[in-house]
Amino acid sequence: MEAELSTPVMGASDTSTIAAMPNVVAVHRNLSHWYNNASFALPTLAGSVVCVAGMAARRGDILAFGAFLLVVALCMTPVVLVSWKQTPTAVVLTADRIVSLHGGRALKALPWAQVYAVKRRETQGNVRWHVSDGKGDRIALDGELEDLDGLVAAARRLAGLATDG
């Protein structure tokens, strides 16, 4: 089966790592970036808007609040960057395993022979799927991955699991 590279834009590290993998069935990129994290994006956006409003209104208190929001964004940046390093930039399905990659580095791999479940988890409206093996290891499949439904269906098929639920 030929690999499905559904988008042409992918990091060079991921692309070269995937090219070296045998029996690639499908590749699903993470469509988000580190700066899409709400802990960074919201205070940055709000701080910018409030600062502009404070300058337009010539109000120091509004400008100070905008500056506070920008400082919050600045303080959150290292936290967001550290957590981003553990976020898959691509999930690769091969004939014998599922592999999560970040910038060409394998974060985790689970052989299909050991996968016993692909389960849907919902937390505060955020849907995530877990591919789990019998040893307690799992790979989380977040909504930011392209064609998440296709990824889940292919993972179930390759693991030999039922396709419903």
Three-state secondary structure of 36-56: HCHHHHHHHHHHHHHHHHHHH
DSSP, collapsed to helix, strand or coil, labels residue 104 as coil
Range of the domain at 53: 35-84
Number of domains in the chain: 2
Tens-of-pLDDT digits for all 165 residues of the chain? 334 443 444 677 888 899 999 999 999 998 887 777 788 889 999 999 999 999 999 999 999 999 999 999 999 999 888 877 888 999 999 999 999 999 889 999 999 999 999 999 988 878 889 999 988 899 999 878 999 999 999 999 999 997 655
**Whole-model pTM above 0.85?**
no
Distances (CA, A) of 101 to 11, 61, 125: 11, 45, 25
Residue 164 lies in a domain: no
Which tokens is 69 given? 């929001």
Residues 12 and 40 in one domain: no
Q: Are residues 122 and 71 in the same domain?
A: no
Query: Has residue 110 been placed in a domain?
Result: yes
Whether residues 20 and 42 share a domain: the answer is: no
132 occurs within a structural domain: yes
